[in-house]
Amino acid sequence: MTKFDVAIIGSGPGGYVAAIRCAQLGMKTALIEKYNTLGGTCLNVGCIPSKALLDSSHHYEDALKHFGSHGIEVVGSVKVNLEKMIARKQEVVDQTTAGLEFLMKKNDITVYQGLGSFKDQKTITVSKSDGSSEDLEANNIVIATGSKPNNLPFIQLDKERIITSTEALKLKEIPKHMIVVGGGVIGLELGQVYSRLGAEVTVVEYMDRIIPTMDSGLSKELTKVFKKAKVNILTSHQVTSVDRNKDVVVLKATDKTGKEIEVKGDYCLISVGRKPYTEGLNLAAAGVVTDERGRVVVNDHLQTNVNHIYAIGDVVKGAMLAHKAEEEGTFVAETIAGQRPHIDYNLIPNVVYTWPEVAAVGKTEEQLKAEGISYKIGQFPMRALGRSRASMDLDGFVKVLADAATDEVLGVHIIGARAADLIAEAVVAMEYRASAEDISRMSHAHPTFAEAVKEAALAATENRALHI
Ligand code: FAD
Ligand code: NAD
């Protein structure tokens, strides 16, 4: 039986990063993945393919609606070739997962293709697709098995018309009317893809606003943008049934007053969150404990109740984000190597890749109020920037929240062009515990979208934004 210093189960952004870092630190490392390709949800059916389709559909929308105002005339009609669009997405995925195979070889990581399950606390059985199996032993084991889509108990997912994000990434036709249950990240990103491609889209959200965990100012602005694009948004609606009759899907929901509504479409995307995935792991054989939500329980060192077994990423508590999983991958590798790494979970940014993009880090206004912290607000609209006018990306704003007494930046909330990239400045500033004045005194290249961050910081410092 082959013996390893570390065996990692699951090759998503948590698992593969943990593997690379373990190898960098000189450990003999095994990575076990049940699918044929590496990369987990993120690379295969998550972050990467969804961004590929967001980009393609954005180009289409620009050609259809915005080229004219830039003085670009399209001679003939602009048409979508969905099959080609989906094929390009798959090429992007294939290149990215192949890149991971290269990285595993480069770092001398032994990859096992097969389902990993605990035989005992130090032995893992890998069951391969050809029916054979192999045991391996490891001094340390990392569970990085990720998550799967959640469903509502009364909905039968047929994966043809009542679908999850996985099917929505490879549809064979553009829906006429896509109903989206859940106005969170997946619902809005994929809802925007199909809205741009010409589908009518109706988002049904249980809470009183879309992206309900983000700052309410961001929800409000994004709602405006979606409504402008004729996306129907039904908030404060509780879905009671989703049924399919041939090619028609019928959703029923009740509003706050108990009034029932019915929405008919040809596809229904269920995007009501994801749940940790531990099926097939045989955790009982190792005695590893999960909580009431199925998450593997870990301490501050990401150790389970069994000292040498760790767990990271979507399968443990916290935000279900690729970069959170990656940080935790590095964290466990360094912990196993005897180092003392640190993660500040408050500074893990959260991004929605719609256009305009939405990005945030730190505390929301709602959280600061709930925690009784006095704060100042500096807000600056994107439309006041020369860069925004040049590209005609006028929607959105930057909001900086700073401590009323010390001026320390406590939260930055951005909606606008390239917000996903702009948020990195806020993360750096907050990691170094910058004040709003610190940001406002740094030179920001002109003309850039980043100037809105400086202006919002100026507004938070002394209410002295320059360009408004
Ligand atoms: P996963 O990526 O889920 O990987 C777990 C791996 O473990 C899988 O490959 C699985 O096959 C394997 N596995 C499970 N059990 C076993 C077993 N017993 N034996 C062997 N292998 C096993 N996050 C972002 O930060 N940015 C985004 O833009 C973004 N977009 C997303 C879009 C969509 C449509 C979805 C669904 C998710 C998106 N996410 C995004 C979330 C992101 O994909 C996850 O947070 C991330 O993949 C979690 O990484 P992980 O390593 O914990 O698990
Ligand atoms: P989510 O938690 O972002 O959104 C789910 C939404 O569904 C919430 O707004 C919730 O209030 C709503 N909801 C729950 N039950 C409902 C019901 N019965 N009826 C109507 N609405 C209901 O989850 P998601 O969009 O499914 O995404 C899953 C995970 O994947 C998220 O945790 C997210 O972090 C991750 N993800 C991240 C990105 C990104 O970083 N850009 C993109 C996609 C997915």
CATH number at residue 15: 3.50.50.60
- Banded model confidence at residue 184, pLDDT cuts 50, 70, 90: very high
pLDDT digits (tens, 9 = 90+) for 256-274: 999 999 999 999 999 999 9
For residue 155, is it within any domain?
A: no
The pLDDT of residue 94: 98
Same domain, 380 and 283: no
Is residue 429 within 6 Å of ligand 2 at its C-beta? no
Residue finishing a domain among 244, 272, 300:
272
The pLDDT of residue 76: 92
The pLDDT of residue 365: 97
For residue 466, is it within any domain?
A: no
Q: Residue 421 CA to chain centroid, in angstroms?
A: 14
Cα→Cα distances 259→37, 205, 233, 252, Å: 47, 15, 17, 10
Same domain, 182 and 195: yes
Measured from the Cα of 187, ligand 2's closest atom is 25
For residues 393 and 327, give the distance between their C-alpha atoms in angstroms, rounded to a whole number: 32
- Return the axis-axis angle of helices 216-228 and 185-196, rounded to nearest 10°: 20
Same domain, 22 and 140: yes
For residues 364 and 437, give the distance between their C-alpha atoms in angstroms, rounded to a whole number: 20
Residue finishing a domain among 272, 301, 334:
272
Summary mean pLDDT of the chain: 97
The pLDDT of residue 462: 81
DSSP state of 129: T
Same domain, 283 and 141: yes
pLDDT digits (tens, 9 = 90+) for 38-63: 999 999 999 999 999 999 999 999 99
pLDDT digits (tens, 9 = 90+) for 233-264: 999 999 999 999 999 999 999 999 999 999 99
Structure tokens at 4: 């390893």
Residue finishing a domain among 211, 245, 272:
272
Structure tokens at 367: 């959280």
Same domain, 33 and 122: yes
For residue 176, is it within any domain?
A: yes
- The closest ligand to the CA of 282 turns out to be 1
* Burial annotation 38-74 (CB, 10 A radius, 16+ → b, else e): bbbbbbbbbbbbbebbbbbbbebbbebeeeeeeeeee
For residue 381, is it within any domain?
A: yes
Same domain, 144 and 173: no
Which domain range does residue 82 map to? 2-149+275-345
Mutate to test the pocket of ligand 2, among 155, 226, 263, 274 (most ligand atoms within 8 A of CB): 274
Closest protein CA for atom 32 of ligand 2:
320
DSSP state of 12: S
For residues 384 and 417, give the distance between their C-alpha atoms in angstroms, rounded to a whole number: 13
Measured from the Cα of 15, ligand 1's closest atom is 51
pLDDT above 90 coverage of the chain, percent: 98
pLDDT above 70 coverage of the chain, percent: 100
Q: What is the pTM of this model?
A: 0.98
Closest protein CA for atom 34 of ligand 1:
46
Same domain, 64 and 142: yes
Whether 466 has a pLDDT exceeding 90, the answer reads: no
In sequence order, the 6+-apart residues with CB closer than 8 A to the CB of 221 are: 356, 395, 396, 397, 415
Neighbours of 15 (CB within 10 A): 29
Same domain, 176 and 232: yes
- Banded model confidence at residue 467, pLDDT cuts 50, 70, 90: confident
Distance (angstroms) between ligand 1 centre and the Cα of 462 equals 43
For residue 154, is it within any domain?
A: no
Same domain, 196 and 210: yes
The pLDDT of residue 172: 98
Average pLDDT over residues 410-419: 98
For residue 467, is it within any domain?
A: no
- Check the CA dihedral 159-163-166-168 and report its sign: positive
Whether 468 has a pLDDT exceeding 90, the answer reads: no
- Check the CA dihedral 160-162-165-171 and report its sign: positive
Same domain, 254 and 326: no
Same domain, 112 and 6: yes
How many domains, the chain?
3
Question: Is 66 annotated in the active site?
Answer: no
The pLDDT of residue 175: 98
For residue 156, is it within any domain?
A: no
Same domain, 267 and 181: yes
